Amino acid sequence: MINFRLFPLVLVLSLGSTSCWFRKPPRAFVAPPPAPKPVIAAYPPEVPAAPEIDANATATLPPDLPSTMPSVPPPPPVPAPPRRPATAAAPRTTPPPVPPPETPPLPKLGQIFTAVQLREYNQALDQSLEQVKRALAIAAGKNLNADQTEIVNRIRTFQKQAEQAREQDLVTAVNLARRADLLARDLLERLP
């Protein structure tokens, strides 16, 4: 059982032993003294003279060549080609230019879809683009302010990007068409 008479004694002892009572004052940081800079001589150091080398003076001369060289006969003269009598120049026929060989098209990198996925993505893309066209037709008949005109321009940009991306990346095209569709729906809700 807990003795409640000792509680005040324990409380006094715990408060008396906290580190706050015995805390030392903080010391100020003292930076170490800067290191002395090395002394650099203002004049260049003396370099000792090169040592003397005893070498045979003839060792560096080129070898003696024979005084007489064998004679080489001069090449015979080249005869001039015979001249042909001038005749009427035949029309030159140049062969038709040869087209470069056709290289097979490079394989396209991208995601491979099943027939069902391909059909679903194309349907979603067509549906979003149709709704965007309808919304733009409705907005064309209205008097738009500057903000609404900006939104219409964004919708058209997304629409064009979706149509261009259809062949390369179908998933990106669907996402762009959905963005255009969401902006178009938002625009129609704001129109008077």
Q: How far apart are CA 64 and CA 137, in angstroms?
A: 101
Residues 6+ apart with CB under 8 A from 142: 191, 192
Domain boundaries, the chain: 115-190
Whether the per-residue pLDDT at 38 is higher than 70: the answer is yes
| Average pLDDT of the residues of the chain | 81
Q: Would you state the pLDDT for residue 61?
A: 66
Q: Would you state the pLDDT for residue 59?
A: 61
Q: Would you state the pLDDT for residue 10?
A: 80
Least confident of 58-62, 143-147, 163-167: 58-62
Q: How far apart are CA 131 and CA 184, in angstroms?
A: 8
Q: How far apart are CA 52 and CA 40, in angstroms?
A: 32
Whether the per-residue pLDDT at 70 is higher than 70: the answer is no
